[in-house]
Amino acid sequence: MTQKERLVYFINRINSDEELKEEIYNKCDPDTIYPQKELMEDLEWLMEGGSEENYDLVPFANDGSGGLYLLVNDQHIAYFDSEGCAGYVAESVDDFFNILFVFRFFCLSKGVMKSYEQFLKECEEDLFEIKPSEAFERFLIKEKMETDKEKVYEKFIKGLTITPIFEINPIDEEYVKTNNLLGMEEDEFLELCKKICSQG
């Protein structure tokens, strides 16, 4: 099954389960999973300056600040925010939903890369708010997804450091290239990606 097919499967599964859909809306960020066509205008707005890269982008979720979650080239999941930052967050569609249903959100800061303990510290306030969800637990079990939080964290780190990195180099000179999601200098981020990839 291709990643596009997996995405369609999960979109249909989530939107046909009212309890699961409501739990996502109340407890997750992004809080709504959409069919592709509903977010195409949002994607066109983010891509207003064009792109030198010929990505195949499928938007399927957004957040309250106008950012989009995208399936890229039928492979990985990226996040493209409205402030000019972009990057991968998950190696696959399955990993995206695994991370979302365990942690409820994607904690994007430089500190999360250091260790699982630092990740917990960086995101402590939001993680503390997590309440048990029978709907999420049923989903994770049925889809045979990872429930060990440290192992899910490792999936997240692998997703953040996929190379070649996801970035938008605009065609229109009035726009600038996107920055990485962690607020790091480009060379520093690329070195970190190489280091993580070599370890894994």
Q: In this predicted model, what pLDDT tens digit does every residue of 23-80 receive, in sequence order?
A: 999 888 898 898 878 899 999 999 988 888 999 999 999 987 889 999 999 999 999 9
Which carries the bigger pLDDT value, residue 80 or residue 175? 80
Nearest CA among 14, 52, 42, 30 for reference residue 166: 52
Tokens of 164: 């070649």
Report the C-alpha gap between 148 and 138 in whole angstroms. Answer: 15
Beta bridge partners of 86: 80
Is the pTM higher than 0.85? The answer reads: yes
pLDDT value for 154: 96
Where residue 21 falls among pLDDT bands split at 50, 70, 90? very high
| Total count of domains within the chain | 1
Q: Are 20 and 32 in contact (CB under 8 A)?
A: no
- Residue numbers of the domain that contains 92: 3-199
pLDDT value for 89: 98
Where residue 99 falls among pLDDT bands split at 50, 70, 90? very high
Which carries the bigger pLDDT value, residue 94 or residue 105? 94
